[in-house]
Structure 1
Amino acid sequence: MTAPQLSFDELGTPLREVTFVVLDLETTGGSHQRDGITEVGAVKVRGGERLGELATLVDPGTGIPPNIVALTGITTAMVRAAPRMEAALPSVLEFLSGAVLVAHNAPFDAGFLRSACERYGLPWPKPPVLCTARLARAALTRDECPSVRLGALARHFGTRTRPDHRALSDARATVEVLHHLLERIGNLGVQSLEELLALTREASAHRPTQRQRQQRHLAAAVPSAPGVYLFRGPREEVLYVGTSGDLHRRVRSYFTAGERRRRIRDMVALAERVDSVVCAHALEAGVRELRLLAAHKPKYNRRSRNPGRVWWVAPTEEAFPRLSVVTSPKEGALGPFTSHRAAESAVHTLLDAVPLRRCTQRIPARAPSATPCMLHELGRCGAPCAGLQSREEYAPAVTRWRDLVAGRRDAELAALVGEVEVLADQERYEEAAGDRDRLVALIGALTRRQSLAELAAQPELVGARPDGRGGWELAVVRYGQLAAADVARRGVRPMPVVEAMRTGAQTILPGPGPLHGAPPEEVRLLYRWLTSGGTRLVYCEPWAEPAYGAARWGGWAARAREGTEAGRAAVHALG
């Protein structure tokens, strides 16, 4: 079984490894601006073990009001020989160092300590702060425990130490309450500090529903391994698909107060079962998620609204082709674009450099007789509609388009860059900015198409990425699709694993279009994995991107966005 990886799913800090300092303060009143601290009590714990205690009376420098004396039993005479807060504060901060500050009604105690730091010129260490009152409200129902006051919780859990408004006693009682609450939320699936802090934030407004609590058993059979999980409804329909480095922990989190999304809570209420697919590593899980989203179109995944819906720019099939936005990946098409608007913007930018016609009418191959439009008068169209340009004369424009998309030429990009810089030199900043943005988008689209098309043309390649633990994540890619995935753990020779993978990998036949039938999102995911994270190519046929590809202009595009001298149009546009 493969251990989860931080790069795949943020695992957080296990609660058993967290050091908590449970603090209680007694004061002369309720305002940290006007009142002073009279007593400090703190208990340090980790993994259920008590590591140390700190307790001291503090001289607030003023008399203690009678009502506070009646509540706490601390008198002015008792604190007269005690240290002042400026002397006690460094010891308190040292005791708190590297720990999570825990208190019942934590904003009160943390506020007094923070004000003391400001008053005496000491830096506030900004520890994570956990309020046991908020935690109790998140973990317990009102029927179970109507009040979350410390005394009520101590009675509810039957703590050995009862709070008595003295700092160390109250801190000890809070420790016991904290441990009982951690046991309770552990059953709800909260296992890390990050999940714990998220649970307490706005806990009163985001309590787990009764249905969420009832559904906790759905996570019981889900393994602690990387992979994909599927929530299924009453008719076996897939409601939701997700990935995680630890399937059990992730699925379990859906049944806690940490899950606040309304639509996901509705999904959990409908779920009858959770299926899981254990994967070798994050890449395989990501690919399987994409395929499952495309296959099932689950209602509660936002990505299911238009799964796999992309647009392409391709020339039409007619005597005098024009550029058209289509949804089918035709051979030689430019794309993929994630929106129709982005594809149309690319068309307009391309037509400024490639002399293809802009009109949408069909022009017959023989004897066209239309009247030339204004574009012909402006010198931006050869007017094939009026018979002023033959098919042979028009064909080079189509060839230029195909060569530009394929990365066999980039003169058109150079011309467009020159036009942007001329506009900037003429101080036509608004026009320069608009043209710059459209050109940067076009360069990105061409670079993406050329990179993905080259990968999708590969009959087979094998990548190996370090797993961070002395082993390797392995993947076989064929024609832009994942054909096999495995791991070679530390101490295991990777090449025999690679050869076994290649032998048993899925057979993939190339399809039509620029990506040879591979889904664009999958090719993008594989390309990112293969070109980042220290991935090495174990086996591949010659894989190279075109010499005159748009990637040559990536530096200009980046500088244009940043407003450097080489992209001075961006500087002018920003004023």
Structure 2
Amino acid sequence: MAQPAYVQGTLDTLMSDPAAHSLADTTFVVLDLETTGGAADGGGVTEIGAVKVRGGEELGIFATLVNPGERIPAFITVLTGITDAMLAPAPPIESVLPSLLEFLRGAVLVAHNAPYDVGFLKAACARHGYQWPNPKVLDTAAVARRALTRDEVPNRKLSTLAQFFRSPVTPNHRALDDARATVDVLHGLFERLGSFKIHTLGDAIEFAKAVTPTQRRQRHLADGLPHVPGVYVFRSADDRALYVGTSKDIATRVRSYFTASEKRARISEMLGAATRVEAVECAHPLEAEVRELRLIAAHSPPYNRRSKHPDRVVWLKLTTEAWPRLSVVRKLADDGAAYLGPFSSRRTAELAAAGVYDALPLRQCAHTLSVRTPMPACALAELGRCPAPCEHRISVEDYAATAALPFRTAIHGDPEIVVASLMGRIEAMSQGRRYEEAAVLRSRLVALLRATVRMQRLAAITRLAEVVAARRDGVGGWEIVVVRHGRLAAAATSPPREHPRPTLDAARLTAETVLPGPGPVPAATAEETERILAWLERPDTRLVETSGDWVSPVRGAARFSTLLNRAEAAASGKDSAVRSSVTDRSDDARSLRL
């Protein structure tokens, strides 16, 4: 075996993304194997030839025969000229692999029909306990299929391509000669790729994959974008926002839309209509997430499916009448009423309301009741499902104590009275084998409990006039946020090796003024506040200053999270899972007393 030659790369080269390297600056190992035939898990390697090149210059070669530990089929000997006698003194593959893997280290692996060669090498590493280095791989056959037309070459065989690119080496099914011919094909393909504006390794690898003509034509839209966290907006010719996204690295993320990994039909359609990409640089990923939500809400891009209409939420309102009732409303008001939500749909709100009606004696009619003049009761009163305040069967004070006050307590503090009532009914139905009815009650419990947990979390942060927090950014600096009434008011990143206090003070001075509102999420959408909460609750986040105590009820809805998770899991399962979940009531009963 010839000793390979090596070139020491610069520190900047070693630390940068290899996919962003220009083809001229990338080190390639062009490899070819000869084998006993068959699949990688059943055949053996008989010869390895590899050539290391960079910038058109040969840096080293690796060539050896390999004893496969088995006889060579006659047709392989006829094809390659390699005989059993030639291989008898050759080293086995387990002795060759360490030197070969060292030769491959830090380089891009190139082969003609690369999956075949890579498959044999990976199988050999697995059999003999070597870790496959998983290098980037460029397949010259795949590149040729996309770069050359049928009019130019009738097929993509190595011998055909070597002749087309006028290689001085004729492929002859010997590993080193075939590898050298592949080097000439590789360089010929690089010249051809220039006409497709392919100049980097990453672009060449993606070009070899099955990208659409639209992706190839529009890939220039990713040019010049910054490698920073932020938001990107695909815009049409009339400057309309088509799609809004976010990433820790805008340039890398936008480039991914023009690769074979992007297969969504709607995105392909969007790319065809886009004429430019606008980048909004952000201090850190949390600010990018929040700005994405706000831009989607402001522009309703046609190709964004989520978060397009954050204002389309509804709330359950306990009215301020003498005998209050539940009403589904779209907006919060500063009227002293109790609100539960937000709900993403009216159906979910009505499902939670049904759970309240199952647990508490709230009236379900929409009539305006007079404390002086009674009116006839409806059928629900006759069925015992309403205390009939319409007929003045219950006083205003008793109604408040038995219905209205427990509802307010459940949504703002401890929901046990509601949960216990529903769980008791579920248990009774399951014992009576009324599984379908029990499952309906369970879905109402899930809707009600999920909304209560969510609102109590939102209310805890929203009632605070200001929260200042920071976390390490991974490179020596600090990510800083200023949150006011649940809304991101300012974001900044302090530089490495500098005290973060000046940056923090500047962020507070320039932060948005946020006024409190009547409900748990008055200053921002629930989704924005939940993104902020997820960031604040990370174990590496430090609270710097708060304007008050950030607290939740001691016996609040969060203590039923395990019960909620179990109920949600059962609701998403099949009928057998439903029956099993509603019949095991002993564990649920114990959980209510935790």
Given the two structures, how large is their TM-score scaled by the length of structure 2? Answer: 0.78
Unaligned runs of 5+ in 1: 1-10
Contact 1:132 1:178 in 2 (8 A): no
2:139 alignment partner, one of 132, 136, 141: 132
The equivalent residue for 1:276 is 279
2:114 alignment partner, one of 100, 106, 112: 106
The equivalent residue for 2:312 is 309
**Aligned equivalents of 1:445, 1:551: Cα separation in 2:** 11
Read off the aligned partner of 2:473 and give its amino acid letter. D
**Aligned equivalents of 1:450, 1:289: Cα separation in 2:** 25
Read off the aligned partner of 1:321 and give its amino acid letter. P
Number of residues paired by the alignment? 547
**The 10-residue stretch of structure 1 (246-255 or 472-481) with the greater mean CA deviation from structure 2:** 246-255
The equivalent residue for 2:576 is none
SS in 2 for 1:302: coil
The equivalent residue for 2:179 is 171
**Aligned equivalents of 1:268, 1:447: Cα separation in 2:** 40
How far has the Cα of 1:307 moved from its partner? Answer: 4.5
Read off the aligned partner of 1:171 and give its amino acid letter. A
C-alpha deviations, 1:224-259, integer Å up to 9, x for none? 221111111111111111112222222233334443
How far has the Cα of 1:508 moved from its partner? Answer: 1.7
Structure 1 residues 316, 172: CA separation in 2 closer, same or farther (over 3 Å shift)?
farther
**The 10-residue stretch of structure 1 (167-176 or 156-165) with the greater mean CA deviation from structure 2:** 156-165
Matches within 5 A, 1:14-413: 14=19, 22-29=30-37, 37-43=45-51, 53-58=62-67, 61-62=70-71, 64-65=73-74, 68-69=76-77, 71-72=79-80, 74-76=81-83, 79=86, 81-83=88-90, 87-92=92-97, 95-96=100-101, 102-112=110-120, 122=128, 128=134, 130=137, 132-133=139-140, 135-136=142-143, 140=147, 142=149, 146=153, 147-154=155-162, 163-174=171-182, 184=193, 203=209, 206-209=210-213, 211-303=214-306, 306-316=309-319, 318-330=321-333, 332-373=338-379, 375-396=380-401, 397-407=403-413, 410-413=416-419
Given the two structures, how large is their TM-score scaled by the length of structure 1? Answer: 0.80
**The 10-residue stretch of structure 1 (155-164 or 269-278) with the greater mean CA deviation from structure 2:** 155-164
The equivalent residue for 2:508 is 502
**The 10-residue stretch of structure 1 (33-42 or 442-451) with the greater mean CA deviation from structure 2:** 33-42
SS in 1 for 2:306: helix
Contact 1:316 1:322 in 2 (8 A): yes
SS in 2 for 1:352: helix
C-alpha deviations, 1:420-445, integer Å up to 9, x for none? 45666777666555544543443222
Structure 1 residues 80, 240: CA separation in 2 closer, same or farther (over 3 Å shift)?
closer
Q: Alignment RMSD, CA only?
A: 4.1
Identity %: 44
Contact 1:190 1:196 in 2 (8 A): yes
**Aligned equivalents of 2:300, 2:400: Cα separation in 1:** 42
Read off the aligned partner of 2:234 and give its amino acid letter. F
**Aligned equivalents of 2:360, 2:510: Cα separation in 1:** 47
Unaligned runs of 5+ in 2: 1-15, 571-578, 586-594
Matches within 5 A, 1:401-480: 401-407=407-413, 410-420=416-426, 435-436=441-442, 438-480=444-486
SS in 2 for 1:169: helix
Structure 1 residues 522, 46: CA separation in 2 closer, same or farther (over 3 Å shift)?
farther
C-alpha deviations, 1:478-498, integer Å up to 9, x for none? 121111111112211111211
Contact 2:144 2:189 in 1 (8 A): no
SS in 1 for 2:359: coil
**Aligned equivalents of 2:282, 2:300: Cα separation in 1:** 21
1:528 lines up with 2:534 in the alignment:
yes
Read off the aligned partner of 2:448 and give its amino acid letter. L
**The 10-residue stretch of structure 1 (172-181 or 398-407) with the greater mean CA deviation from structure 2:** 172-181
Structure 1 residues 75, 474: CA separation in 2 closer, same or farther (over 3 Å shift)?
closer
The equivalent residue for 1:4 is none
Contact 2:143 2:207 in 1 (8 A): no
SS in 2 for 1:552: helix
**Aligned equivalents of 2:223, 2:74: Cα separation in 1:** 55
Structure 1 residues 473, 114: CA separation in 2 closer, same or farther (over 3 Å shift)?
closer
How far has the Cα of 1:311 moved from its partner? Answer: 2.5
Structure 1 residues 114, 433: CA separation in 2 closer, same or farther (over 3 Å shift)?
same
How far has the Cα of 1:330 moved from its partner? Answer: 4.5
**Aligned equivalents of 1:300, 1:149: Cα separation in 2:** 42
How far has the Cα of 1:163 moved from its partner? Answer: 3.5
**Aligned equivalents of 2:53, 2:316: Cα separation in 1:** 63
Contact 1:465 1:533 in 2 (8 A): no
**Aligned equivalents of 1:244, 1:529: Cα separation in 2:** 16
Higher relative contact order (CA 8 A, sep 6+): 1
C-alpha deviations, 1:491-529, integer Å up to 9, x for none? 111112111111111112223433124211111111111
SS in 2 for 1:276: strand
